[in-house]
């Protein structure tokens, strides 16, 4: 009977579960591979912002296991077409056997290059782009498997807002760069003038170097505002990170600085109507997740002009007394600053209560303290004798320590002096032969380890013996010092400059090939020969013969390296002195100033 009952109960349970339906096991997450390409170096703030946004959005996809590859192509810092082509060739080799399911492209510059190169890398992999302008995208012929997010750089909204907020403003100062990289992002001055109106004057400082721009900005009156667009390159041709320029401008500006990109928040700008790289990256990530889950790219249209936001830095707003009530509705406030009462109201109430209780306890303790003071006075008399003994002993020890410290200081000074004498040439103050050999070996080892180029130059003063014989050794010493001073002016801090003896000098140029070394030393040679030197009324013409060589391979010794430079120096002297000769593993040539200016028409000597 019991067996029947159990069987009947089991059948009923199974039937009940079949009626309700047993939950199916959750499907295993899909494994996908994603390639994210950034056009520039990884330390740019907009790259960091988009990288973090992509990681957060990818991390929220519980149904996907993503293997994400990040590549920074550094197209701006290395514009050479050969390098860039080799970079794309490397990507083709690198991802040849990788089943990449989706490619993310940061900005239209890289998107254009990728569309040109994708056929040799990942021709059938869908593409999602972001951090792009709508105008640039509309000018591209996009394949059907390419979609993404674009926005518009619009400073007119910021201009309208600041003029409503500060009706006394009568001048808007424009700051932007003149390089190729920023031209695609800069709004025309005419459009900004139209938004500002006739009563507001636009001052364009783009034709000045950054140092002069900062001076002009620092002197602005309270009725001005600064509108910063982008600056990669100033009018003097000097390159910068745009966010660093914004930080420097905000530091010196006595008036608000408006900017248009969310990566600038935190640099001192008050903000404005901003092109949001972060929002574009998040929107693009969501589009990409739909594609990775199987949705067709053709069903995901390009999102245009949906990422801009009014974004402000509360710290900068407080600096210029701009209240939050003056901001447009739905503005995003970064670095929000709360009053102590707003942040710590419960803690403040608790603290006040605690202080009140503590004050009562203090009164009680004061009464007890009076009684204790009488006892302390008695103890003070007893301790006085002991303190006197301790002070006498301390004074003795202090005197002993002073004497010991003086001895240590003198020994240290003598050691430093001996070390300086052992490594420095007495007359010129630069490294001597012994010190140079130590430094040179270290640089050779470093160049071999990092596979960096390394150049060496041997120099001597032409007819130096004649200077000594004709003008005297004192004038010869002054000529050596003038030679060293002139050479120092044409060297970098990392270059190693030493005197081997007499009028023979050597320069080691790290991370430099022979042509770069020639450029630096030809500049030195021209400076040296530009005018005679005046030594105590004696006019002395100094010229120099120079031999240059490069480190051949990882097995080459310092002696061989020096020997090839010495051979080049010999060739320079043989060519008539006041010459520069190069002997490298590829060629051997003697170049004078005339020969170099005539398109290197007088290259001779044997090949090495």
Q: What is the pLDDT of residues 437-473, one digit of tens each?
A: 999 889 999 988 888 999 999 999 998 888 888 888 8
Q: Is the pLDDT of residue 91 over 90?
A: yes
Q: Is 92 exposed, middle or buried (0-12, 13-18, 19+ CB in 10 A)?
A: middle
Q: Which residue in the block uniquely carries the two structure tokens 């745009």?
A: 242
Q: Which residue has the higher pLDDT, 93 or 600?
A: 93
pLDDT in tens, 551-566: 887 788 888 889 999 9
**Range 75-89 average pLDDT:** 90
Residue-level pLDDT at 14: 59
- Residue with more model confidence, 395 or 103: 103
Tell me the whole-structure pTM to 2 decimals. 0.51
Output the pLDDT for position 385: 80
Determine whether 72 is exposed, middle or buried from the number of CB atoms within 10 Å of its CB (0-12, 13-18, 19+): middle
Tell me which of 427 and 1 has the higher pLDDT. Answer: 427
Which of 8-17, 315-324, 570-579 has the lowest average pLDDT?
8-17
Q: How many CA atoms lie within 13 A of 584 on its CB side?
A: 18
Nearest-angstrom CA–CA distance, 205 and 203? 6
Describe the chain by its helix, strand, coil percentages, rounded to 5: 50, 20, 30
Distance CA 300, CA 516 (A): 51
CA within 13 Å, CB half, 294: 4
Q: How confident is the model at residue 419 (pLDDT cuts 50, 70, 90)?
A: confident
pLDDT tens-digit map of 59-69: 998 899 999 99
pLDDT of residue 19: 45
Return mean pLDDT, the chain.
Answer: 85
Q: What is the mean pLDDT of residues 322-342?
A: 87
Has residue 588 got a pLDDT over 80?
A: no
R_g (Cα) of the chain, nearest Å: 37
Task: Dig out the tokens for 166 from the structure.
Answer: 């500060």
The residues, ordered by sequence, that sit 6+ positions from 236 with a Cβ below 8 Å of its Cβ are: 209, 210
Q: Which residues face 120 on adjacent strands?
A: none
Are the CB atoms for 588 and 518 separated by under 8 Å?
A: no
User: How far is it, in rounded angstroms, from Cα 210 to Cα 197?
Assistant: 27
The DSSP H or E segment spanning 435 is helix 433-450
Spell out the residues 6+ positions from residue 429 whose beta carbon is closer than 8 angstroms to its own. 484
Examine the pLDDT at 595 and tell me if it is beyond 70: no
Strand ranges inside 191-304, DSSP E: 201-204, 224-228, 257-259, 271-274, 303-304
Q: Kindly report the backbone phi and psi dihedral angles of residue 602, in degrees, each rounded to the nearest multiple of 5, phi listed first.
A: -120, 55
Residue closest to 484 by CA, chosen among 467, 505, 500: 505
pLDDT tens, residue by residue, 36-74: 999 998 888 888 989 999 999 999 988 999 999 999 999
Spell out the residues 6+ positions from residue 219 whose beta carbon is closer than 8 angstroms to its own: none
Mark residue 321 as left, alpha or beta (left: phi above 0; alpha: psi -120 to 50; beta: remaining): left
- Model confidence over 360-384: pLDDT tens digits? 899 998 888 888 888 888 888 788 8
Is residue 313 scored above 70 in pLDDT? yes
Domains of the chain: 30-151 (3.40.50.2300), 156-276+307-334 (3.40.50.2300), 433-597 (3.30.70.270)
Collapsing DSSP states into helix, strand and coil, what is residue 569?
A: helix
Gap between the terminal Cα atoms of the chain: 106
Q: What is the pLDDT of residues 462-506, one digit of tens each?
A: 988 888 888 888 888 888 888 998 888 888 988 999 999 888 999
533 with 466: CB under 8 angstroms? no
Helix (H) or strand (E) holding 146: strand 146-151
User: Are 129 and 285 spatial neighbours (Cβ–Cβ below 8 Å)?
Assistant: no
């Amino acid at each position: 009977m019991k067996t029947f009952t159990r069987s009947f109960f089991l059948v009923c349970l199974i039937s009940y579960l079949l009626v309700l339906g047993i939950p199916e096991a959750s499907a295993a997450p899909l494994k996908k591979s994603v390639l994210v390409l950034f056009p520039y170096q990884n330390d740019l703030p907009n790259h960091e912002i988009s990288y973090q946004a992509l990681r957060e959005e990818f991390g929220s996809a519980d149904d996907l296991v993503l293997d994400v590859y990040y590549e920074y192509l550094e197209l701006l810092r290395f514009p050479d077409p050969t390098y860039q082509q080799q970079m794309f060739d490397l990507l083709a080799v690198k991802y040849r056997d990788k089943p990449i399911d989706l490619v993310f492209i940061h900005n239209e510059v890289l998107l254009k290059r990728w569309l040109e190169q994708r056929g040799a890398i990942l021709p059938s992999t869908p593409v999602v782009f972001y951090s792009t302008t709508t105008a640039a995208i509309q000018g591209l012929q996009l394949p059907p498997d390419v979609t993404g997010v674009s926005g518009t750089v619009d400073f007119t909204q910021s201009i309208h807002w600041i003029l409503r907020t500060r009706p006394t403003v009568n001048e808007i100062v424009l700051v932007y760069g003149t390089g190729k990289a920023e031209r695609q992002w800069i709004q025309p001055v005419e459009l900004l003038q139209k938004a500002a109106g006739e009563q507001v004057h636009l001052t364009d400082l783009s034709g000045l170097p950054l140092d002069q721009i900062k001076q002009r900005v620092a002197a602005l009156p309270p009725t001005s505002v600064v509108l910063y667009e982008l600056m990669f390159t100033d009018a003097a041709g000097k390159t910068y990170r745009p966010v660093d320029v914004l930080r420097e401008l905000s530091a010196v500006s006595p008036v608000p600085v408006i900017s248009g990109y969310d990566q600038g928040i935190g640099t001192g700008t008050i903000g404005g109507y901003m092109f949001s790289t972060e929002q574009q990256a998040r929107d693009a990530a969501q589009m990409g997740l739909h594609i990775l889950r199987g949705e067709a790219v053709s069903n995901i249209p390009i999102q245009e002009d949906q990422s801009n936001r009014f974004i402000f830095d509360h710290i900068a707003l407080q600096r210029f007394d701009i209240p939050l009530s003056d901001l447009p509705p739905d503005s995003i406030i970064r670095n929000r600053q709360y009053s102590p009462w707003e942040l710590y109201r419960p803690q403040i109430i608790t603290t006040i209560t605690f202080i009140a209780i503590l004050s009562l306890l203090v009164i009680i303790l004061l009464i007890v303290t009076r009684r204790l003071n009488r006892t302390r006075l008695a103890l003070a008399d007893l301790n006085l004798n002991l303190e006197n003994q301790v002070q006498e002993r301390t004074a003795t020890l202090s005197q002993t320590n002073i004497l010991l410290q003086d001895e240590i200081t003198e020994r240290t000074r003598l050691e430093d002096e001996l070390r300086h004498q052992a490594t420095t040439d007495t007359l010129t103050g630069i490294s001597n032969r012994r010190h140079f050999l130590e430094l040179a070996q270290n640089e050779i080892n470093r160049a071999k380890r990092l596979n960096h180029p390394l150049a060496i130059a041997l120099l001597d003063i032409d007819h130096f013996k004649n200077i000594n014989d004709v003008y005297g050794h004192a004038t010869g010493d002054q000529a050596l010092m003038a030679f060293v001073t002139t050479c120092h002016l044409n060297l970098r801090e990392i270059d190693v400059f030493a005197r081997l003896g007499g009028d023979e000098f050597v320069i080691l140029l790290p991370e430099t090939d022979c042509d770069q070394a020639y450029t630096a030393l030809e500049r030195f040679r021209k400076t040296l020969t530009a005018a005679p030197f005046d030594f105590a009324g004696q006019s002395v013409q100094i010229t120099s013969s120079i031999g240059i060589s490069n480190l051949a391979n990882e097995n080459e010794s310092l002696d061989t390296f020096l020997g090839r430079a010495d051979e080049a120096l010999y060739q320079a002297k043989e060519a008539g002195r006041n010459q520069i000769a190069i002997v490298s593993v590829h060629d051997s040539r003697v170049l004078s100033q005339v020969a170099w200016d005539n398109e290197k028409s007088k290259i001779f000597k044997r090949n090495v």
